[in-house]
């Protein structure tokens, strides 16, 4: 049985979880697997544990692609050692209350039932910090963990499965919705995605939405690069955030406003 998982390449399975349309990926080796991201709540993670059992996965490690709640708040419910970028480890270890409060505030209006369940979540920090690159042996399969630079967050981690041609990119790429710039680095983000392009030779699993391909990644890179250029130009000219955001460009106006605000802070060397 595969349960809710779909096999997108030999031994690589994706569950497109309906709440927030978030993806969980499993890379299976001989007697061991790697689970990429753990969903939002204990209840969701319990459903994930049951789905892993249906898939025949009993021994596994975990990777968190970044610190946002829908990718790592299920950590404590699952077993197995966890790898994440150093910044993700720091936030989950040192700022759990702030992470929970921020998630509740962001989703109390659009997903009130989900937000109501978040305060009871016990956060679990990863066991292993990755700063630049790490290689894991997943039941005889080589899997690479790579931090391509700041983008969606300061601590994005990409999972590369070379023998299957699969790239798991977290929220560095979004399908079905515009990229989320709330904690992003819009000026650096295109460079991070450019690092991924040579590896995008097969299925690419975004943080949310349908599995995509290199063409989709390249198109989103072009949009991110155009937006970064507009932010640089506006910052150099001293143009107000609203003026730059309201000009025609990639993504919707509200997304551009957040991106320009974050980008100006990035260029000024300060927190937004």
Give the orientation angle of helix 214-237 with respect to helix 253-268, to 10 degrees.
60
The mean pLDDT value for 151-160 works out to: 98
The mean pLDDT value for 35-39 works out to: 98
Q: Is pLDDT at 100 greater than 80 in this prediction?
A: yes
pLDDT tens track for 49-88:
999 999 999 999 999 999 999 999 999 999 999 999 999 9
The pLDDT value recorded for residue 248 is 80
Compute the C-alpha angle 61/101/41, nearest 5°: 35
**Rounded Cα gap, residues 187 and 147, in angstroms:** 16
Decide the pairing of beta strands 22-28 and 33-36: antiparallel
The mean pLDDT value for 115-134 works out to: 94
pLDDT tens track for 180-234:
999 999 999 999 999 999 999 999 999 999 999 999 999 999 999 999 999 999 9
Length in residues, the chain? 272
Residue 22 binned pLDDT confidence (cut-offs 50, 70, 90): very high
- Residue keyed to tokens 């990863």: 126
Sign, CA dihedral 65-66-70-75, equals positive
Dig out the tokens for 208 from the structure. 């949310």
**Rounded Cα gap, residues 263 and 265, in angstroms:** 5
Residue 31 binned pLDDT confidence (cut-offs 50, 70, 90): very high
Whether the full predicted model's pTM is greater than 0.75, yes or no, is: yes
Query: In order of start, what are the domains of the chain with their CATH numbers?
Result: 6-268 (3.60.15.10)
The pLDDT value recorded for residue 219 is 98
Better-scored residue on pLDDT, 113 or 153: 153
The mean pLDDT value for 1-25 works out to: 93
The mean pLDDT value for 247-268 works out to: 95
Q: Is pLDDT at 47 greater than 90 in this prediction?
A: yes
The pLDDT value recorded for residue 272 is 58
The pLDDT value recorded for residue 269 is 86
């Amino acid at each position: 049985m595969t349960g809710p998982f779909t096999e997108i390449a030999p031994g690589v399975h994706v569950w497109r979880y309906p709440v927030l349309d978030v993806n969980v990926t499993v890379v299976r080796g001989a007697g061991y697997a790697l689970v990429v991201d753990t969903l939002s709540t204990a209840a969701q993670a319990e459903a994930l544990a049951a789905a892993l059992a249906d898939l025949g996965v009993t021994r596994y490690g975990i990777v968190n692609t970044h610190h946002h709640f829908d990718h790592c708040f299920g950590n404590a419910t699952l077993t197995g050692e966890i790898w994440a970028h150093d910044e993700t480890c720091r936030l989950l270890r040192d700022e759990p209350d702030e992470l929970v409060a921020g998630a509740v505030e962001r989703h109390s209006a659009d997903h009130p039932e989900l937000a109501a369940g978040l305060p009871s979540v016990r956060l679990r920090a990863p066991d292993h910090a990755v700063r630049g690159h790490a290689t894991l042996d997943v039941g005889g399969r080589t899997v690479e963990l790579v931090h391509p630079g700041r983008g969606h967050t300061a601590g994005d981690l990409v999972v590369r499965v070379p023998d299957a041609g699969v790239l798991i990119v977290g929220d560095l790429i979004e399908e079905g919705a515009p990229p989320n710039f709330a904690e992003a680095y819009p000026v650096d983000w295109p460079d991070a995605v450019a690092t991924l392009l040579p590896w995008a030779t097969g299925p690419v699993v975004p943080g949310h939405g349908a599995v995509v391909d290199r063409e989709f990644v390249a198109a989103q890179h072009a949009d991110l690069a155009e937006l970064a250029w507009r932010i640089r130009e506006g910052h150099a000219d001293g143009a107000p955030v609203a003026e730059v955001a309201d000009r025609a460009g990639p993504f919707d106006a509200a997304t551009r406003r957040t991106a320009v605000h974050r980008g100006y802070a990035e260029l000024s060397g300060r927190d937004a």
